Chains A and B, each alone.
Chain A
Amino acid sequence: MITGISISTDSVPGLWTDGAFVACEIDAAIYPIPAALAAGYKYTDRVFVWIQSSAKSHCYVVFLRPRISGLDLGDLAGSYMNELLDQTLRHRLEGTFAPLRTLITAQAFSEGNLLDVVADPPEPR
């Protein structure tokens, strides 16, 4: 249970505010936590970000509290959620790309051919 705020469990998609901050309850099965962390990092120039587990299983809650005055909390939450979408896509793509990036970098700076060691074996030392 999150202390200090009243959570309406039937609200969808799960946005609350007390005027000073906005909280978003997020389904980890749709938006993985690393994506929420990456999105949150991008907002740290504008807001204080706090992420913690939700009382609901498989969910977590992102709290955003503006560091500067004049930010509309609804706009802030909406823009964070859009960023979360992009970060989720990046997270998904990176799962495929990470080993490829490593292979490309290794091949770029390798003296031999890492892609086809049978056709192009390394020279004997």
Chain B
Amino acid sequence: MKLLFRPREHFERSNDQRYDLLPFRFMRWADGTVLLTNEAGEHQFLDSASFERFHERRLTRELTAYKDLKAKHFLADGDRQLAVDLLATKVRTKRSFLSGGIKLHLFVVTLRCDHSCAYCQVSRVTEDRTPFDMTVETAGKAIELMFRSPAPEMKVEFQGGEALLNFPLVRWCIERIETLNRTEKRRIEFVIATNLVPVTHDMLEFCRAHDVALSTSLDGPADVHNANRPRAGGDSHEQVMRNLERARAALGADRVSALMTTTALTLRHPERIVDEYVRQGFRSIFLRSVSPFGFAVRGRQTLLTGTDEFLTFYRAALAHIIEINRSGTGLVEVFSQIVLQKILTPFATGYVDLQSPTGAATSVVAYNYDGDVYASDEGRMLAEMRDFSFRLGNVHRDSYADLLGGPVAQALVEASCLEALPGCCDCAFLPFCGADPIFNWATQGDPIGHKPTSAFCTKQMGVITHLFNLLKGSDAFTRRLLVSWASAVPIESAR
């Protein structure tokens, strides 16, 4: 009789036949388990004894852990070449942010601002100093460079100072880009970062007609916000509230987002800040710590937050956000969402501040008002402090290749591949983390940074550890909520 199928034994290998280990990193957890991660960002917790058996190739195949480890490509017991090929495909997907060149183009259209925020990262100048405005000639050159990027999708963000104080240039840029894009045919998204105070009916009409989104600042309820963001009259919060309504009415609620900055002044108010976002109808909040740049450093004694204090604030705010969701009001914490996407999905995120190599000069550039091009917004902030280490060149002098293939860009990439950095190369959180050589330079005087004393590393480790603890040990609702954030689906659909 002809044998149609090979016998079962053919497909089974005996338990004493060893499997191959595929590359992984590991970290011991406080509860005695061990976290394993691999190149593709898969993760698996094992109890300590199973971990020892696993790396000694003594794990038996009937165990669930064995099957999980095989499915996630921590081990291969058959065709190792196939496993490597599949792993490579996962790595390519996870690192898809590397293709396409510069996707985020920041136009600093003016340094003028009507606020005097003590933590200002932009080192703003007063409203009447027009020499700090970008000119049409400079903007035109920046737009030419922008279209040298091969990226099929790009985001153009106008920043300041207060970007709307130079609205004629913003309008000119958007119209110029739209004209050129009739032949370029890229998908381009426009965002204006604004404190909303100078916004007029005409500006909102223009934004509506050209599908421009607005990103504003809201640091919390009035007392917290106004303490962080002083202006003449002391009414920043009131102005934001009034113009927020107008902007939403003109553009739609989903086209106006807000960011908050955590300073030493706001650390004591995690719940009140979250409640303010809910009260104002936002569906998301981004818990950001103040950056060590610009005026924040000049006033660092009072404004910069210690990393441990920020993490305490973050955990309290996140706990409150989870309870708000439990009560039926949807609110996403965006930084957690980005990290969860890295942990729980096979996809790359578009978040340029948490990439390896760094997003600076690989995914983002900033065109300053004077034509200088910086590797990122933070590089530009350092320049305002007279440190030009991350200036790539100038739009009037340098080509796209000069800017992005030059020594500054190369040095940034070299200093930001986590796989080759001390303290990072063997860290199990590597697939979920990123490098920030400009932060390291600003805080430690070295683009690679000293990880054991790095505030960036401490913060990332704290956030990622907390999210893993929530995924591991919290109630079913919390786990489903976090999965729903990662996969951007309603919590009812999250599994």
Residues in A lying within 8 Å of B, measured CB to CB: 38, 41-46, 86-87, 89-90, 93-94, 96-97, 100-101, 103-105, 107-109, 113, 115-116
Contacts and interface: CB of A to CB of B under 8 A. Distances in A.
Contacts of B452: 41-46
23 contacts: A41-B422, A41-B451, A44-B452, A46-B452, A87-B426, A90-B26, A90-B426, A97-B24, A100-B22, A100-B23, A100-B84, A103-B84, A103-B88, A104-B84, A105-B39, A105-B88, A107-B85, A107-B88, A108-B89, A108-B95, A115-B81, A115-B84, A115-B85
Contact of A93 (B55, B87, B92, B423): B55
A42 B84 contact: no
B450 interface: yes
Contacts of B24: 93, 97
Contacts of A45: 452-453
A104 B88 contact: yes
Interface in B305-356: none
A101 B39 CA distance: 8
Contacts of B21: 93, 96-97
A74 B375 CA distance: 47
B389 to A, nearest CB: 25
B81 A116 contact: yes
A86 B27 CA distance: 9
Contact of A105 (B22, B28, B91): B91
Contacts of A87: 426
Contacts of B26: 86, 90
Contact of B23 (A41, A42, A104, A115): A104
Nearest to A44: B452
A42 B28 CA distance: 14
Contacts of B28: 86
A101 B23 contact: yes
Contacts, number: 63
Contacts of B92: 108-109
Interface extent on B, as a size class? Answer: 20 to 34
A115 B82 CA distance: 9
A69 to B, nearest CB: 17
The list of the 7 closest CB pairs from A to B, nearest first, reads A45-B452, A107-B88, A97-B23, A108-B91, A108-B92, A108-B88, A45-B453
Given A101-B23, A104-B91, A108-B88, 15 more contacts: A41-B422, A43-B452, A44-B453, A86-B26, A90-B25, A100-B22, A100-B23, A101-B419, A103-B88, A104-B84, A107-B84, A107-B85, A108-B92, A108-B95, A115-B85
Interface of B: 21-26, 28, 39, 55, 81, 84-85, 87-89, 91-92, 95, 98, 419, 422-423, 426, 450-453
A115 B80 CA distance: 10
A107 B86 CA distance: 10
A84 B95 CA distance: 32
Nearest to B450: A44
Contacts of B419: 101
A109 to B, nearest CB: 7
A25 B55 CA distance: 27
A93 B84 CA distance: 17
Contacts of B95: 108-109
A108 B94 CA distance: 10
A87 B422 CA distance: 13
Contacts of A93: 21, 24, 55
A114 to B, nearest CB: 9
A97 to B, nearest CB: 4
A98 to B, nearest CB: 8
A70 B320 CA distance: 35
A95 B405 CA distance: 33
Contacts of B453: 44-45
Contacts of A103: 84, 88
Contact of B55 (A89, A105, A113, A115): A89
B316 to A, nearest CB: 25
A4 B423 CA distance: 31
A110 B452 CA distance: 35
A96 B183 CA distance: 51
B451 to A, nearest CB: 8
